[in-house]
Amino acid sequence: MTETIQTLIGRGNEIHIISGEGEQGTTEIYYGARTLRALRARLTRERAGGDRWARATIYSHSAGGGSIGVDIETGDYYVWHAVA
């Protein structure tokens, strides 16, 4: 799956960082360096030593009238939500 994630990153697909505490979180578009290493470093900072949770998803493809994103760490697929 890492190769697929690298391919999606290389294509310039939009990346979202989703982070928060407890059940509440926020989503933002990621504009940082487009490498897996940079994304993992950003998630480490967002997690604040275990006080918060964070994940990053990258747009993958459209299917059935919706859009699909992929979690960059697990490879799990998610319904993609636009960020306002």
* Number of domains making up the chain: 1
Domain hosting residue 23, numbered range: 2-79
Report yes or no on 84 lying in a domain: no
| Amino acid 67: pLDDT | 86
3-state SS, the chain, equals CHHHHHHHHHCCCCEEEEEEECCEEEEEECCCCCCHHHHHHHHHHHHHHHCCEEEEEEEEEEECCEEEEEECCCCCEEECCCCC
Report yes or no on 9 lying in a domain: yes
| Amino acid 61: pLDDT | 86
Report yes or no on 17 lying in a domain: yes
| Amino acid 83: pLDDT | 66
| Amino acid 1: pLDDT | 54
Q: Which residues of the chain fall below pLDDT 70? A: 1-3, 81-84
| Amino acid 57: pLDDT | 92
| Amino acid 71: pLDDT | 92
| Amino acid 72: pLDDT | 92
Report yes or no on 10 lying in a domain: yes
